[in-house]
Structure 1
């Protein structure tokens, strides 16, 4: 009699492990195909599960995408906002830009989701909005570490930090989107361009002092 009793049953994953598998598969599917062309069926196939099981974890494509977007944005912002004290404002700006574009380069799937795709679904738009608000707050906190600003307009310091953060954020967003379409540029070149773009304008508003 043969001792072969058939294939070994697959080990049942814990819900949190299955969810992590879904998140990993979905991130790649959305990044490769874009939001509109990606389907829940494709995500389920990539995760090695059935479509009904996928819907047990995420009831809609928009909900899944919003979850991914918020998680990626939070990780991205946490990476560049945790900067060590710098000796000069220029050093602080340069370090932050290098951290931003290093993360983008290392997380290509998230790169597209955060900076290129902008689905019209309300739930996804809300996740985008929360990510942008968090980025603005963290950038304002970085600018607040510059001891003194010299602006042509008399603004309270908190308002000055806010407006500098907002304008810098959109400049970096635009450059990140441009880099996606121009891969012949390496990260070091992009960081230098970003520093030229931002620091040459900021230099005249700051007074070099320890930060």
Structure 2
């Protein structure tokens, strides 16, 4: 159980609406990550949060709305991290490392938020699919703008490179986690960043 969910345990405890919502989302994440959407039950989420079902429904009309709220928050966090990586320095080699690191940090999150974004069992739901696609497209957009500005490439070519960096980062980060972090995160990020940088930095240098 996440720390936030644990802190909220106790029926009858009155919390500010924002704190209660955060508590419910933390409890829901535990259940959705463990069981997937279809096997998750609102009863279990309410019990995990230490509230009654009516309290849960006061904040979220149904399981889908709860799932979407949680999913959107994780997508926002990933996109913000990638954007921050792009804005963190004007050194493109360091930008590449920061972008790769953002994906590794995201999958290494204690609450396993990445499973909802990259491994959702509800992709057939249009709103869920749209949110999942935004995780990739908005990350690609942030990287594309930087490549266009610094490498003097047109949007189509810059976007293709951005898709490559995003895909490389996401796939290797998940592989790294699934193989029990046998390589340290620092080394993994450095290796993948070097692989990406030798292609981007060598073939598409910074334009002054």
Q: TM-score, normalised by structure 2?
A: 0.80
1:117-156 counterparts in 2 under 5 A? 117-119=120-122, 120-149=124-153
Question: SS of 1:178's equivalent?
Answer: helix
> 1:167 is matched with which residue?
164
Do the aligned residues in 2 keep the contact of 1:62 with 1:124 (CA within 8 Å)? no
The 4+ residue runs of structure 1 with deviation greater than 3 A are: none
The 2-side partners of 1:131 and 1:94 are apart by 19
Structure 1 residues 185-210: Cα deviation after superposition (integer angstroms, max 9, x where no partner): 32123213322442232233222567
Structure 1 residues 173-194: Cα deviation after superposition (integer angstroms, max 9, x where no partner): 2222222311123212321332
Higher relative contact order (CA 8 A, sep 6+): 1
Structure 1 residues 115-172: Cα deviation after superposition (integer angstroms, max 9, x where no partner): 23342323221221233222221121232342445xxxxxxx2222222112222222
Say if 1:40 and 1:114 are closer, same or farther in 2 by CA, change over 3 A.
Answer: same
1:18 and 2:25 matched: no
Structure 1 residues 1-28: Cα deviation after superposition (integer angstroms, max 9, x where no partner): xxxxxxxx94422322221111111122
Say if 1:190 and 1:115 are closer, same or farther in 2 by CA, change over 3 A.
Answer: farther
Structure 1's unaligned 5+ residue stretches are: 1-8, 150-156
Q: Which of residues 73, 79, 90 is equivalent to 2:75?
A: 73
Structure 1 residues 58-109: Cα deviation after superposition (integer angstroms, max 9, x where no partner): 222222111111111111221232132233x222212222233234324442
Q: Which of residues 91, 96, 119 is equivalent to 1:93?
A: 96
Do the aligned residues in 2 keep the contact of 1:136 with 1:169 (CA within 8 Å)? yes
TM-fit CA distance, 1:42: 1.5
The 2-side partners of 1:145 and 1:115 are apart by 29
Do the aligned residues in 2 keep the contact of 1:25 with 1:46 (CA within 8 Å)? yes
Q: Which has the higher helix share?
A: 2
Do the aligned residues in 2 keep the contact of 1:29 with 1:38 (CA within 8 Å)? yes
Question: SS of 2:112's equivalent?
Answer: helix
The 1-side partners of 2:55 and 2:12 are apart by 16
> 1:154 is matched with which residue?
none
> 1:5 is matched with which residue?
none
Structure 2's unaligned 5+ residue stretches are: 1-10
Q: Which of residues 41, 44, 53 is equivalent to 1:42?
A: 44
TM-align CA RMSD: 2.4
Question: SS of 2:183's equivalent?
Answer: coil
